[in-house]
């Protein structure tokens, strides 16, 4: 009986850790994309100005897409 409780506690901990990791990773990716868009917007290449804007981003546990 104690083994079942230990296994359940370990499973809950693993799922919780995976969820925290997903949220942290998503925040890091979003910050990186915003920084990259800002660098493109503020840079000048051959006297041409560029503007970059992230219109939408969809992400799930196993994939992400940018439009």
pTM for the structure as a whole: 0.51
User: Tell me: the pLDDT tens digits for 13-27?
Assistant: 988 888 888 888 888
Residue 13 covered by a domain: no
- Kindly tell me if the per-residue pLDDT of 53 is higher than 60: yes
Residue 60 included in any domain: yes
Rg (CA), the chain: 20
Mean pLDDT of 38-65: 68
| Domain count of the fold of the chain | 1
Which residues constitute the domain of residue 61? Answer: 23-67
Tokens of 43: 């840079």
For residue 18 the two structure tokens come to 């995976």
pLDDT at 39: 80
């Amino acid at each position: 009986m104690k083994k079942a409780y230990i296994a359940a506690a370990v499973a809950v901990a693993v799922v919780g850790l995976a969820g925290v990791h997903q949220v942290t990773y998503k925040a890091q990716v979003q910050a990186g994309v915003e920084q990259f868009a800002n660098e493109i917007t503020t840079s000048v290449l051959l006297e041409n100005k560029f503007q970059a804007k992230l219109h939408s981003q969809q992400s799930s546990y196993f994939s992400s897409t940018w439009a």
